[in-house]
Chain A
Amino acid sequence: MHLPLQDYQRFGRQMILDAIGLPGQIKMREAAVVVVGAGGLGCPALQYMGAAGIGRIGIIDHDRVELSNLQRQILHNEKTLGMYKAESAAEALKRIDSGLKIDVMTVAICAENALELLRPYDIILDCTDNMPTRYLLSDAAVALGKPLVSGAAQKLEGQLSVFNLGPNGPCYRCLYPKPPPRDAVGSCEELGILGAVTGVIGNLQAVETIKIILGQHDSTPSLLLYSAFGFPPFRTVKLRQRKADCPACSNPAENSFSITNTDYVQFCGGVSPNWVEAGLVAGIAGHRIRAKELQELLSSNVPLKVIDVRPRTEYEICQLPGSENVPLKDLLTQPEKYILANSDQDIYVVCRLGNDSQLAADALRRIGSGATVRDVVGGLRAWSKNVDPEFPIY
């Protein structure tokens, strides 16, 4: 017998497909794939690949499960909060199939360890959430000669592509030789993400991977674009082939490109700012106040004005009583509009973490009216922490 007896029953529904059959199931059983990132994309990809009977699955993720992950990272749950995501995901897969062979890797993938970590596998899935790792995985996939199934999702949109597939398949660098400026890049925490959107793209990554394992992937370079609330929601576009002058994938044997000599974070514009910490800086004397001090002023009945510069949607989630919402963009376009009418009142500016409020307060101060303008250190996060624990953190 080619498969354990039980597997005929377990995988029967897919084995009777002409595209799979017994040979296809055996190919899957003999395949080894590695998923980098056990988050919004990685969870659904892992779930379907594990359930389909892929023989060996590596999971690389050094993050731990947090409450704000559960909205989309569907292999994790309340009981695995605080656990490494790679372990939590492996546990969930083992509940589907206790016989699965899973390699849990809780290290951060980096230029020094990437080749070693990825080498044992046939196919690499990019389920990561940041630019530097995307370039690193692409370069590593090229160096190791393995296809890279790349997914990305943000807000209500997703993108899917297979890189470095076949002799002419482009790599990530062929498509994006230079990273975008840092200002044009945000995270799921800053921009938001609908969980089911990561689910769509992660599931498609599993499908693409299975097609490659079965040897049935039409290697035409393409990019699938998904816009959940757009019409039509799916669009597939034809992409360029491998670029003759790509520093990474043109003649990989001969070129001098070196992964370990590349600082991927620097290449992508440096370390992402820690906005929580940045929002907590003391600033110039007299320019900022603590949440506690604002509370004292509010309860002292001194006439004052509180301007909340978050986007309208965020303001509607939760707000300080009596505060007025002026989204940062509107305020910066016409700061004078918001200060003239209240020139005798002191103005206190607040936002989510205390960064945008500094920009807004600076703009208001530059108008130079008599009013005192201050902003709140640490924003509403600090309000919740130091004044009112019932005030929501999101």
Chain B
Amino acid sequence: MTSTISIKIEFGGGLELLFNNQKSYKIEIPSLVPKDNSTDAESLSTKEKKPADVNYLIHHMRDHMLKERVELFMEKDTVRPGILVLINDTDWELEGEGEYLLKDRDEVVFISTLHGG
């Protein structure tokens, strides 16, 4: 049996609209994941592994949770411009961005920048 970690995901700035209009999710992901961030069952069992990081989480969200067009959430292999990622209430830039290694019960927040006034 593979071990998993539990991650809390929150959305802000309207991003929840891309994820079934639900602001908060609690998900389980494997603690070891394919190095190439593929998220299908076969890759999970056969491919070379790395510890789960935020890059993998973003791909998992794209493949299994996103309900709208990919380009509203991702650009290339990361989140699109205008989305800020917070790991346990800290800008992910201070935590190594996508390479941050997720721990059980981490909270990751995805915020879209607002511009109205």
Which residues does A use to contact B, with CB under 8 Å? 37, 39-42, 127-131, 134, 151-155, 157-159, 175-181, 183-188, 191, 193, 198, 223, 225, 227, 230, 235-240
Q: Are A180 and B113 in contact (CB under 8 A)?
A: yes
Of B29-37, B38-46, B53-61, B88-96, the segment with at least 4 beta carbons within 8 Å of chain A is B88-96
Q: Mark B75-117, 1 if CB is under 8 A from A, else 0.
A: 1000011111010011101100000000000000101111111
Q: Provide the residues of chain B in CB contact with A153, threshold 8 Å.
A: 114, 116-117
Most buried by B among A37, A180, A223: A180
Given contacts A153-B117, A225-B12, A230-B23, contact A181 B89 (CB under 8 A): no
Q: Provide the residues of chain A in CB contact with B91, threshold 8 Å.
A: 223, 237-240
9 contacting pairs across A/B (C-beta < 8 A): A128-B115, A152-B115, A176-B82, A176-B84, A180-B112, A181-B81, A236-B89, A238-B89, A240-B91
Q: Provide the residues of chain B in CB contact with A183, threshold 8 Å.
A: 71-72
Q: Provide the residues of chain A in CB contact with B109, threshold 8 Å.
A: 235, 237
Given contacts A176-B82, A223-B84, contact A154 B94 (CB under 8 A): no
Q: Are B117 and A40 in contact (CB under 8 A)?
A: yes
Q: State the Cβ distance, A153 to closest chain B Cβ, in Å.
A: 6
Which of A37, A127, A184, A235 is the one whose CB lies under 8 Å from B112?
Answer: A184
Q: How far is the CA of A181 from the CA of B90 in the complex (A)?
A: 24
Q: Are A131 and B115 in contact (CB under 8 A)?
A: yes
Q: How far is the CA of A124 from the CA of B71 in the complex (A)?
A: 34
Q: How far is the CA of A40 from the CA of B117 in the complex (A)?
A: 5
Q: Are B116 and A154 in contact (CB under 8 A)?
A: yes
Q: How far is the CA of A237 from the CA of B14 in the complex (A)?
A: 18
Q: Provide the residues of chain A in CB contact with B93, threshold 8 Å.
A: 239-240
Which of A175, A193, A223, A237 is the one whose CB lies under 8 Å from B116?
Answer: A193
Which of B13, B111, B117 is the one whose CB lies under 8 Å from A39?
Answer: B117
A181-B81, A239-B91, A240-B94 are known; give 4 further A-B pairs, CB within 8 A.
A152-B116, A157-B13, A180-B83, A183-B71
Q: Are B86 and A184 in contact (CB under 8 A)?
A: no
Q: How far is the CA of A158 from the CA of B81 in the complex (A)?
A: 19
Q: Are A129 and B115 in contact (CB under 8 A)?
A: yes
Q: State the Cβ distance, B23 to closest chain A Cβ, in Å.
A: 7
Q: Mark B1-36, 1 if CB is under 8 A from A, else 0.
A: 000000000001110000000010000000000000
Q: Provide the residues of chain B in CB contact with A40, threshold 8 Å.
A: 116-117
Q: How far is the CA of A186 from the CA of B13 in the complex (A)?
A: 11
Q: How far is the CA of A81 from the CA of B23 in the complex (A)?
A: 38
Find the A residue at minimum CB distance from B111: A225
Q: Are B94 and A238 in contact (CB under 8 A)?
A: yes
Given contacts A230-B23, A238-B91, contact A157 B115 (CB under 8 A): no
Q: How far is the CA of A177 from the CA of B82 in the complex (A)?
A: 8
Q: How far is the CA of A195 from the CA of B67 in the complex (A)?
A: 30
Q: How far is the CA of A198 from the CA of B12 in the complex (A)?
A: 16
Q: How far is the CA of A377 from the CA of B111 in the complex (A)?
A: 36
